[in-house]
A and B are shown apart, each in its own frame.
Chain A
Amino acid sequence: MRFDTLSDLKNYKNEISQKQDKGKEIWICGGPGCVANGSMAIAEEFIKALGNKSSSDENTSLWHSIKVLIRPEEKETEKLIRTGITGCMGPCENGPVVHVEPDGLYYQKVTVDDIEGIIGSIKENIPYKAKAMSGLDDKPAEVPSAENIPFLAKQKKIILGKMSTMSPLDLEDYIAHGGYSGLIRALESMAPEEICNEIKASGLRGRGGGGFPTGVKWESCRNSASEMRYVLVNGDEGDPGAFMDRALMEGDPYSVIEGLTIGAYAIGSSEGIIYVRHEYPLAVKRLANAIKNLEEAGLLGTNILGTGFDFHVEICEGGGSFVCGESTALMTSIEGKPGVPRVKYIRSTERGLWESPTVLNNVETWANVPHIITNGSEWFRSIGTENNSGTKVFALVGKVKNTGLVEVPMGTTLRQIIYDIGGGVAQKRPFKAVQTGGPSGGCLPASMLDTPVDFDSLTEAGSMMGSGGMIVMDDRTCMVDIARYFIDFLVEESCGKCVPCREGLKKMQMILHDLTNGKGREGDTKALEDLAEDISDTSLCALGQSAANPVLSTIKYFKEEYIEHEKEHFCRSGVCQGMFRIKIDEEKCKSCGLCSKNCPADTIEKLDSGKYCIKQEGCIRCGACFEVCPFSSVDIVNEVIDDD
């Protein structure tokens, strides 16, 4: 397969689209969650069951075409069943997920024992009920297609659209699913300036968190005088609990590279670098495979599609530092120096990588580009809200029922994401907060659940969009402890170049450790607030400037918890060790004895009344009784006040 001219590629696309007769396809989710749950073994079993020898993941594409009898019609006809591994499909909580095309059916928690059943159901052309994904009422859906599954029905999958129905290894597959229409349109009928204008008109904003208008960035790079320009992909996703970019690079690497190619053409660059963190080996492998295939197909390299446009892409593996996700640190790292940020009073679009004008965009931003060029800026603007067009991918994690990868139009509220798509807080516990934007983001309380998720609203609320991590917390989460966790993370990850971030975060960490160890002092909350403001004012890069957010936002919305930690040395959530006591409310206790059975310290005894009681001397305050009590009769009480 090689395309030397534009019409070669167009003819090929036509040929594929005319193939009406689409066989059945069984797709097994190859996202990290499902792989951890054994989806690879299931894929191999599927292949065996369909009569082929198993093969390891990356050598051959897991495409297997096996003739199987299907009899929906009276006459028995032979049809193909193909099976393969995709990228992340999204419903990570319920993995391993299996997706059957073209019917669009989703099966959850599939085991090796279900393989026969699923293949049987395909032959019968009916859904396989036993493992059908949950529908509206939490019961398996009758027909488990996307519109009947709340987790999928409420999403709008544009960027993730192809990911559950194609192999991330196969270029043919990508083109068959509409890939490279964007590049064709760009090269055939658009001047580079027009592309910049189209992106500007679409209102696309940087998905890495900053929210800077992408088109403006491109234009300013295009207008800076230089012979050499670079386009870079920021794939250094390091936020705890975030895996959006990983999913895209692993599941749909071609779309990222197509976007990058269009961007390079628009700004006049011939050199692109994908910076991927070293901890994502599969993403590196998949991207490398994609680049190799694209070079062979003539979609990367010199004189692409006979238009005279040259573009080469390389992969640069990161060195494992969180701060390398910051644009200038990333460039310094590519240059072979320690990944430390530079003062940014001159924009990277004027002087970036190796002193040349550079456009750096996030993986997801690049993945948006082909869609905008194919469908036009009007279409893109029609999704989302006024100043925040398009969709955003989130990694919905934490104490939420349906964890997973979610794509929604901008402006969807937090409530819709957490309750309608995520199915609410896990184990039906009360909602306490949602953390967005990674370690530099903030925690928003229940009163802010109706905040629309877009760049401006989240910043206004004291958090930020970030790259799209979304961590749900229940009432057993201590907000001071959460702030401590994120500051610990940032202290570890601060590069240490500038004083406020290096020394200031350390001081903040000392205060937070005192607060969570019962050594809080009068005025600590105020001291934290002041220090937080000064650190954001004076730090050199965005990491330091936003590092105080977790502290500031938790103080803003959960000040009473800080005051309790500071003045009463009490942790109402039962998290900070030694700062609370656990008691059983005798009135609520129904004498089921679950607490006593689960107590690791064996310190819960039965009273004469039949109720249970915790002997305080032996209690290690692990909270096991709290977790298991079905009647919420275990309370967390203030140790100090009760003793008085």
Chain B
Amino acid sequence: MIEITINDIPLKVEKGTTILHAAQANGIDIPTLCNHEGLTLDGNCRLCSVEIEDMGNKKIVASCMFPITRNISVETETERVRRARNTVLQLLVNRNPKAPIIQQLCAKYGVDREERFALEPDLCIRCGRCVRACEAGGTKAIELVGRGFDRHVAPPYELETDACIGCLSCATVCPTGKITYEETPGKRKIWYKEFDVLQCKRCGIYFATKEMLDWAGRPENDRDHCNHCQKYIESVKFLTESQKK
């Protein structure tokens, strides 16, 4: 265990814990955007910046990725942190004024949009959560393409791709609602590609695309029911058989 302080509160944490986790475990609030518990870390939004003092050096670090390996003291509300955080928020709100999460954070920290530097409103904050979610599923259908200001999320060549299975993981983790899809009974459209969505023969919900089941390796002759109903049917089968015995 390593002894550290966050905002002068002494804490004991396990070696390798990130500052963000240590703070969250102790009820200290640090705002985040690109961070998602289920995904790999990336540290690109810089909103979680905190100031640390490490062997006499004071510096700003991204708390979501900084592993605690020795005694440091962390400050989450200094003037320097506030400036760093507000600059990041300001830059984001100039480009993403309509994203609800950005609006909430700006209201919380008192940041306004600058008319002079207002850019064409866009919902995407390029946090890459969608890309990391797609990668985590093993599909890797989308990637951050382009460089610098033009960076954006797209499937290869911005065309429909075989790699996409229509699982909607990307849309689920998107913090701003940029990633949208069309869903009509039995049909789904995302990333320029149309999918057939299978309907559960028992409960009637549209539960998965054919490609998702292919990816999961579910046999072709066993695709009639959604996960819940499948379990239900199996357990009923199990119970009747054991009663017979």
A335 to chain B, nearest CB (A): 14
B97 to chain A, nearest CB (A): 13
| Chain B contact patch, size range | 35 or more
Question: How many pairs of A and B residues are in contact by the CB < 8 Å rule?
Answer: 99
1/0 per position for B29-63, CB-CB distance to A under 8 A? 00000000000011111110100000000001110
What residues on B are CB-neighbors of A504 within 8 Å? 87, 91
Q: Which of A124-132, A429-437, A495-503, A621-629 contacts B (4 or more CB under 8 A)?
A: A495-503
- The answer to whether A540 and B91 touch (CB under 8 A), given A345-B66, A496-B148, is no
Bound: A502/B83 CA distance, A: 18
Please determine whether A503 and B147 come into contact, CB atoms closer than 8 angstroms: no
Please determine whether A343 and B147 come into contact, CB atoms closer than 8 angstroms: no
- Interface hub of B47, B66, B95 (most chain A Cβ within 10 A): B95
Please determine whether B43 and A540 come into contact, CB atoms closer than 8 angstroms: yes
A601 to chain B, nearest CB (A): 35
Please determine whether A538 and B60 come into contact, CB atoms closer than 8 angstroms: yes
B142 to chain A, nearest CB (A): 13
- Interface hub of B84, B91, B145 (most chain A Cβ within 10 A): B91
Say yes or no for A188: interface residue by CB 8 A criterion: no
1/0 per position for B77-106, CB-CB distance to A under 8 A? 000100110011001101100000000000
Say yes or no for A494: interface residue by CB 8 A criterion: yes
Please determine whether A498 and B45 come into contact, CB atoms closer than 8 angstroms: yes
Bound: A506/B126 CA distance, A: 15
What residues on A are CB-neighbors of B80 within 8 Å? 537
What residues on A are CB-neighbors of B44 within 8 Å? 497-499, 540
* Contacting residue for A491 out of B65, B91, B143, B148, CB 8 A: B148
Please determine whether A537 and B65 come into contact, CB atoms closer than 8 angstroms: no
Say yes or no for B157: interface residue by CB 8 A criterion: no
Say yes or no for B202: interface residue by CB 8 A criterion: no
Please determine whether B60 and A537 come into contact, CB atoms closer than 8 angstroms: yes
Say yes or no for B149: interface residue by CB 8 A criterion: yes
The count of residues in chain A whose C-beta lies closer than 8 Å to any C-beta of chain B is: 31
1/0 per position for A313-344, CB-CB distance to B under 8 A? 00000000100000000000000001010010
Q: Which B-chain residue is minimally distant from A494 (CB atoms)?
A: B148
Chain A residues 410-436 with CB under 8 Å of chain B are none
Chain A contact residues, majority secondary structure: helix
Bound: A507/B44 CA distance, A: 18
Bound: A499/B148 CA distance, A: 10
Please determine whether A538 and B88 come into contact, CB atoms closer than 8 angstroms: yes
B78 to chain A, nearest CB (A): 12
Please determine whether B46 and A338 come into contact, CB atoms closer than 8 angstroms: no
B72 to chain A, nearest CB (A): 12
* Contacting residue for A343 out of B62, B125, B149, CB 8 A: B62
Please determine whether A503 and B62 come into contact, CB atoms closer than 8 angstroms: no
Bound: A279/B80 CA distance, A: 41
Say yes or no for A539: interface residue by CB 8 A criterion: yes
Please determine whether B43 and A534 come into contact, CB atoms closer than 8 angstroms: no
Bound: A496/B46 CA distance, A: 13
Say yes or no for A114: interface residue by CB 8 A criterion: no
- The answer to whether A540 and B148 touch (CB under 8 A), given A345-B67, A499-B88, A534-B84, is no
Bound: A493/B66 CA distance, A: 26
* Contacting residue for A510 out of B117, B146, B150, B151, CB 8 A: B117
- The answer to whether A499 and B60 touch (CB under 8 A), given A534-B84, A540-B43, is no
23 contacts between A and B (CB under 8 A): A343-B62, A491-B148, A492-B147, A492-B148, A493-B148, A494-B149, A496-B146, A496-B148, A496-B151, A497-B126, A497-B151, A498-B46, A500-B87, A502-B126, A502-B148, A503-B91, A504-B91, A505-B148, A521-B116, A534-B87, A537-B49, A538-B84, A540-B44
Q: Please give 5 more A-B residue pairs, beta carbons under 8 A apart, in addition to A340-B144, A499-B44, A538-B49.
A: A338-B145, A495-B147, A499-B125, A500-B91, A534-B83
